[in-house]
Amino acid sequence: MENKIEVILRSSKLKKLLFSRIPDFHEKHNLKKIEVDILFFLKNSDDMDTSSDICRELRLNKGHVSQAMECLVKNDYVTAKPDSNDRRYIHYSLTNKALDAVDMLMQAWISIRDRVFEGISDKEIIQYKQISDRIERNIESVLDDYTE
Residue 133's pLDDT band (boundaries 50, 70, 90)? confident
Residue 1 has pLDDT above 50, yes or no: no
What count of Cα atoms within 13 Å lies in the side-chain half-sphere of residue 128? 11
Query: What is the domain class of 2-116 according to CATH?
Result: mainly alpha
- Is the pLDDT reported for residue 93 higher than 60? yes
Tell me the C-alpha distance between 20 and 112, whole Å. 11
* Residue 2 pLDDT greater than 50, yes or no: no
What integer best gives the mean pLDDT of the chain? 85
For the cut 60, the answer to whether the pLDDT of residue 55 exceeds it is yes
Helix (H, G, I), strand (E, B) or coil at 16: helix
- Global confidence as pTM: 0.76
